[in-house]
Structure 1
């Protein structure tokens, strides 16, 4: 039993010695060093950036979901667009092609969200401008932007409707629309 204790102590001492010698090497470096992407990946990133800048605001995804989305691309698409009276309409939107403002080596975006509820003859039943704003600033161009919206329209009779969700690029001055037809079923 005593021999086992001595052996463990020796291993701990050896580990400590190794850690100290590695620390000495790390402190002797004068500048940071990272592995950088290869030329093909950098070229593809530049082409993607150019295509993004040439595009206008649009949606890569826009759909009714089962429950609220929990993150970028983390949603379950509804199999239909038929709702019971009083149900919550959950919508996932994934904007692309929005503009960036550059200031002091930071990139910012700002998107405002509005909606219109239309009946089957295009009458506006409800609307609200700029009820939500998506904005951010970082050292890189943040492109994984998403929005989870929830709507509850009380008192809608059974019938067919359209939910128009409008997103405005406050920097690039473009607008994208997600037109989502849905039905409210009779009880």
Structure 2
């Protein structure tokens, strides 16, 4: 056993010093090719980012996604769509909304987007039952033009009678001075009949 170990050690020592080429089982030129491919891919990614920014500037301010959810989202895209728009009396209305096409205010090396949110509760006929301007606001400053932005919006309608309604959020982009409406029909179910 000692002889075998000694033979292996001698073979390794005679092979000479190991180089990066030996370690990666390749050559320096293949490592350079991999680095060049990475640089090319990064350049392609940055070009796609520039194209996405240009397309964003042409987008109207709107909501790409708006839905009732079962819980608040922790991250962009982390929504759990509510299986129904029927709510029990007093149950909070939780919405997940993804605005798109909002504007940025540039200051130095930062970009800021900001806005306010109004809401209204209407009957299905359009009659406004209640509303509030600027019930919530948002503002975010970053070193990049962040586009993955979402809103968790929650309303409590305690005391509202059973019936069919429409929740209307008006998103107000204070940078572009634009607004977008999001309508979400919902129903408050009647109290379960009690048996004597």
Correspondence for 2:169 among 157, 165, 168: 165
Matches within 5 A, 1:37-116: 38-116=42-120
Distance 1:106 1:143 in 2: 14
Aligned residue for 1:38, secondary structure, equals: helix
Residue of structure 1 equivalent to 2:141: 137
Correspondence for 1:124 among 128, 146, 150: 128
Compare CA radii of gyration and give the structure with the larger one: 2
Gaps (5+ residues) in structure 1? 1-34
Distance 1:168 1:45 in 2: 26
Matches within 5 A, 1:16-55: 38-55=42-59
Q: CA deviation at 1:38?
A: 2.8
Alignment coverage as a number of residue pairs: 154
Instruction: Report runs of 4+ in structure 1 exceeding 4 Å deviation.
Output: none
Question: TM-score under structure 1 normalisation?
Answer: 0.78
1:156 and 2:163 matched? no
Task: Report the aligned-residue RMSD.
Answer: 1.6
| Shift in alpha-carbon separation, 1:141–1:36, aligned structure 2, 3 A | farther
Q: CA deviation at 1:71?
A: 2.1
Cα deviation code 1:73-95 (max 9, x no counterpart):
11200111001111111000111
| Shift in alpha-carbon separation, 1:37–1:131, aligned structure 2, 3 A | farther
Cα deviation code 1:100-142 (max 9, x no counterpart):
0111121110121110000122111111111111111111112
